[in-house]
Amino acid sequence: MYNLIGAGLIVIGGGIGLGQIGGKAMEGIARQPEAAGKIQTAMIIIGALLEGLAFGALILGK
Amino acid sequence: MIATKSIKFFTILAVVFSSLTCFAASGGSTDTKEGQVNTPESINAYIKHHLADSHDFALYSYTNDAGERKHVGFPLPVIVWTSKGLKTFMSSEFHHNDDGHVIVEKGDVKLVKIHSKIYELNEGADHVVFDAHHHATNAHKVLDFSITKSVFGMLLAGLLMLLGFSSLARGYKKGAIPTGVGRLLEPLVLYVRDDIARPNIGEKKYKKFMPYLLTVFFFIWILNLLGLTPLGFNVTGQIAVTACLAIFTAVIYLTNGSKDFWAHTLWMPGVPKILRPVLALIELVGFVLIKPFSLLVRLFANITAGHFVVMSLIALMITLKNQFGPVASTGMSLLLTLFISVIEILVAFLQAFIFTMLSALFIGMAVEEHDHEHAH
Amino acid sequence: MEQLLNDFSPGLFFMQVLILGIILFLMFKFAWKPILNSLNEREEGIQNALDEADNARKEMQNLQADNQRLLNEARAERDEMLKEAREMKNKMIEDAKEEANAAAAKLMEQAQATIETEKKAAISELKSQVANLSIEIAEKVVREELSNKDKQVKLVESMLGEATLN
């Protein structure tokens, strides 16, 4: 039960983080479309780091 | 050229199918109803079974007219290190039993298979006794070096890589422009070199790490894609596999760390002396534990989650049959599975890319030589 | 975590280390090394070819510039020569004109001088002839006068008729 609540919290946190990353990346691309490639790569890396964090927490809590 | 290739392909296919039929003949389960997947509990168990490694290569199973459960697939060799030494036999000796009822006696050791793990019965025991949590109480795990389905998958992926890329390598001897499969593979190699290794490791040192990054990238990608085929591999969803990959990366970047890297990690300049040991501890834990852990968990969790979702969506056609009828539930399941499968193809590439990218990033951090002109 | 550790198979880990090691070695030997070397060679070849083309183009440009310069020089020289020739021609014509003028003037002068002297000679001759005639006439008149009055007049008249002034 507590596990599930914790998992929910992790997902909320991760979702907020991913939303921020994605939103800001979109803004960046809209502002500078010529830098889209670099922004995407950086976005994916940061997304991956966040994902690692969230998955780590999920698995440690399981 | 094409003719010889297709002959090769059909020979492999023929070998596979002849072994299939042999196995189908020798297979055959003792219980009739077990193995049919039609309740939520059995679906859960089936998915769990799929996510775990397997000792035989099952393609599908059916119940014949006589009510016998038939399995189609082929057995794989079991190699275990028991208390009495190394034992090898084919997995067909377990007769697809996965809950410890079939006991294989090799010399004076008794082996059983419970949830895809091989246990050795303790001295004197003649059947497995389970406790309340379904843990075996009178048996212990053995070191299992079997050619399991995952090992088989890795060998297959390795073979595919070797065939594809050695043909590309040979193609260069004939001319500067590759032909055939090489045309597909060359841009991928260039992609790894120019978009992953070069920007992250740096122009001077990237060459040394190219073979590792390329190998890991294609190995993970091929295994991820193999996991999406109906063959049912789940290699990159095995924690041992991803752990091994992550440890390889960690060993590479820790052994190639530059003087600057160690200086900055262990005795960070520019911060108060009291804080330095604390920072060193944090950095060290980060590089030795957390970074490899996040690498291994990310890949493992993504692939496991993907397989779980795909299989759950396939199972919709069974779980929703009573509410929506067979046609609607099948259609729904088909559409959703198709959708998720397409996303999973993207994820298969993305995870290989991210693993390679982060490996390159960490290696880049370790080999970087700082400019001592500017103060930190 | 507990379940994960339970799922972790040391045997599979060992096999994976073994297989990954072998694949790394084989791929390095039979695939990556030749592939990366060929790619490098090819890229260097392309770079060299591009550099060479660049150099060739530069040389070509230099050559063209040289040609242009030579052409311009030649053109200037030609222009110079033409100008000189024209000047020379003009000068020659001028000189010739002047000479001709001078010669003509000289001729004219000579002619005028000749005419003048001729005229003077003619006038002096005429004068002397007139004087002679006058003397003759006077002689004859005097003689006739002496013989016949009528004859004298007639004589004078005929003499005068003969002696038409040129």
* B262-312 pLDDT tens trace: 888 888 777 788 888 888 888 888 889 888 988 988 999 899 989 999 999
Which residue in chain A has the smallest CA separation from C2?
Answer: A62
Nearest to residue B226, comparing CAs of B321, B289, B161, B163? B161
Q: Which chain A residues contact residue B293 at CB under 8 A?
A: 56
- Per-residue pLDDT tens over the stretch B206-220: 888 999 999 999 999
Indicate the residue type of B196: I
Chains that touch A (3 or more CB pairs under 8 A): B, C
Chain B residues within 8 A of C15 when measuring between CB atoms: 145, 147-148, 151, 154
pLDDT at B21 over 50: no
In A, minimum Cα distance to C4 occurs at: A59
C12 closest CB neighbour out of B150, B189, B207: B150
pLDDT of residue B371: 64
Q: Which pLDDT belongs to residue C166?
A: 56
The string of DSSP codes covering B8-63 is HHHHHHHHHHHHHHHHHHH---S-SSTT---SHHHHHHHHHHHHS--SEEEEEEEE
Answer whether B122's CB lies under 8 Å from B129's CB: no
For the segment C126-155, the average pLDDT, to the nearest whole number, is: 77
pLDDT interval class at C144 (50, 70, 90):
low
Q: Is the pLDDT of residue B340 over 80?
A: yes
Provide the token pair at B41: 């509990």
CB contact under 8 A, A49 and B294: yes
Q: Which residues pair with B70 in a beta bridge?
A: B62
Report the percentage of chain B scoring pLDDT > 70. Answer: 88
* Section A14-42 average pLDDT: 92
Which is more confident, B139 or A62? B139
Whether residue A23 has pLDDT greater than 60: yes
Is the minimum CB–CB distance between A22 and chain B shorter than 8 Å? no
Instruction: Say whether pLDDT at B246 is over 80.
Output: yes
B55: CB partners within 8 A, 6+ apart: B76, B78, B91, B94, B113, B116, B118, B146, B148, B149
Tell me which chain C residues have a C-beta less than 8 angstroms from the C-beta of A58: none
- What percent of chain C is predicted at pLDDT more than 70? 94
* Residue B22 scores a pLDDT above 80: no
Give the closest-approach CA distance of C1 to chain A in angstroms.
5
pLDDT of residue B85: 82
Position A16 pLDDT exceeds 90: yes
Partner residue facing C32 (CB), from B145, B148, B211 = B211
Would you say B250 and B286 are in contact if contact means Cβ atoms under 8 Å apart? no
pLDDT at C78: 94
- Choosing among C1, C2, C5, C8, which should be mutated to test the A contact, i.e. which has the most A CBs within 10 A? C1
For residue B14, pLDDT over 60 is answered with no
pTM: 0.75
Q: Output the pLDDT for position A24.
A: 95
Q: Is the pLDDT of residue C67 over 90?
A: yes
Q: Which residues of A touch C (CB under 8 A)?
A: 59-62
Q: Where are the domains of chain B?
A: 2-147, 151-367
Q: Where are chain C's structural domains?
A: 11-125
Count of Cβ atoms closer than 10 Å to residue C31 Cβ: 27
pLDDT tens figures, B115-145: 888 888 887 777 788 877 777 788 888 888 8
Q: Which chain A residue has the Cα nearest residue B359?
A: A45
